[in-house]
Amino acid sequence: MKQKNRIIQILKNKNLLSLFWIFFYAVFDAGNFFILIRSYPKTVFGEIVFFFTCIAVIDNIMNGYVYYPLIRFSGAAVSDEEKKAVTGSIWLLNILGAVCISLICGILLLIFFPLIRSSIFFNFIIFCPLILLCSIPLNNLKSQLQSQNKFLEMILFQSACNIPYFIFLILNCFFLKLPVNSVFAAYAVSLGLASLAALFSGRSGISLMKNIKKKTMTALHNFGIYSLGSNISSILLRNLPVILIGVILSKLDEALFGIPFKLIAIFSIPLEAAAMVAYNKMLIATAEKDYGRILDIYYRYTGVLLILFIPGLILSCVFAKPIIYIFAGSGYSEVAKCIIIFRLFLLYIIFLTIDRLGGAILNSINRPRYDFIKVTIMLLTNTTGIISVMYIFKTIEPVAVIYILTIAAGMCIGILFVNKYLKLNLGLIFPAGWAEIKRLIQKIKTR
C-alpha cells in the first residue's frame, strides 16, 4: 500500500511528469534520427536534417502565434467561460495561420517551380501544408493539456503519432528501402492519425469555436504577435546554422553539423521540462502579484539545472568521440569536425540555461516585447556572423563559435531587460539551486 501511494505521488509530480514528457519526445526524435542515419547516405541524410529543421521553424511559428497565447491566457483564466472563449478563438487563429502558410507555399511553388524543383527546399514546400493541417487538432489538445499540467495525457496522445512513425522508419530501414520523400509523407500521415485520436476523444476543443469572442481574439492576437516575433527569431536563431549550411555549403556539411546539433538536444530535455513547469508557476505568481516568488522560481530552477549539467557536460567533453560513435557510427565519429562542434556546443548549454528561464520571466510578467527585441538582435548578429564565416572559411567549425558567442551576448541582454522590472542577482543562482537539491534529498529521505 505504501509503495502504491509512492507511485501515485510520482505520477502526480508536475516536475517529473514534465521531464518525462520532454524526455519521451526527445527519445523518439533521437531514435528517429538514429534509424534515418543508418537508412540513407550522408548527402541524403543532410537533406532530411534540413527538412525537419525547416518544419521545426514552422512549428514554432504556430507555437508563438497560437499555442503560447493559449497556454498563457488559459492558465490565467478564472472562469470556465473565459477558458472556452480562449480555446475556441485559438482554433480559429490556428486554422487561419495554417491556411496563410499553405497559401505562401503554394504561391512560391507556382512562381518559382523550376528553381525550387532542383533545390533542397522542394520537399519542404510540398509537404509543409499537409503537415500543418494534419497537426492542428493534436497541437490544440496538447496546448490545453500543458496549460493544465497534464503531461501524462500529452504523452498518450503524442504516442499516437510517434509510435506508428517509428515503426515505419524501422520497416523502411530493414525492408522497404523507400525513397526519402516517403519519410516525409509518413510523418504527415502519423500526425493525421494522432489528430484523429484527439478529435475522437472529444477534448480537442473544436466544438468551442461557438464561444469565440472579439475581445478574447484581440487579446490573443496582440500577445501572439510579440510571442510570434520572439518565437520566430528564437527558432531561427537555434536552427539558422543548419538552414544556411544546407543553402551555402553542402548536404555533407549539413549531415556533419546535424549530428552534434541533435546530440546536444539531449541536454535540452531537462531544460525544456524545467522551463515548462517554471513558466506555469511564474504565471500563477504574476496573477498574485508576488514578484519575489518569480525570482525565487528562477534562482531555484536555474541553479538546480546548472549544478546537474556541469558534471555531465565535462564527461561529454571527455568522451565526445564514443558518444558520437554510439549515436551515428564510425562514419561520423572519425570526422574531426563532428567532435569539435559537439564539444563547442556543450558550452552553449550553460548560456542557454540562464537565458531560457530569463525569457520565461519576461513572458510571464507580460513583457514579450523585450524578449522579442533581445532575440531579434541575436538573430541579426548571428545571421551576419554565420554567413561571413562560411564565405571566409568555407567550413562549419567557425559557425559553432559564432553560435555560442551570440547566445552569450543574448543572455546578457536578457538580464538587462529583466532588471528593468525585477532585480536579478545571478550570484543567488548556485546557492538557491544547492538549497533546493538538499531540500529535495531531505524530502525523499523522510518518505
For position 6, what pLDDT does the model report?
A: 56
| CB neighbours of residue 82 within 10 Å | 16
In DSSP notation, 343-389 reads HHHHHHHHHHHHHHHHHHHHHHTT-HHHHHHHHHHHHHHHHHHHHHH
Contact 439, 431 (CB under 8 A): no
Q: Give me the amino acid identity at 231.
A: N
Per-residue pLDDT at 373: 86
Which of 244, 245, 267, 265 lies closest to 256, judged by CA? 245
User: Could you report the per-residue pLDDT of 367-379, keeping only the tens digit for each?
Assistant: 878 877 888 888 8
* Domain spans, the chain: 15-236, 264-447
The predicted pLDDT at position 224 comes to 82
pLDDT in tens, 101-146: 999 999 999 999 999 998 999 999 999 999 999 999 998 898 888 7
- Nearest one of 146, 203, 204, 198 to 18, comparing CA atoms: 146
Residues lower than pLDDT 50 in the chain? none
CB burial of 172-207 (b: ≥16 within 10 Å; e: otherwise) equals bbeeeeeebeebbbbbbebbbbbbebbbeeebbbbe
Q: At what angle do helices 291-318 and 320-328 cross, to 10 degrees?
A: 90
Measured in residues, the chain has a length of 447
What stretches of 174-272 adopt beta strand conformation (E)? none
pLDDT of 250: 87
Q: What's the pLDDT at 2?
A: 53
* pLDDT score at 238: 80
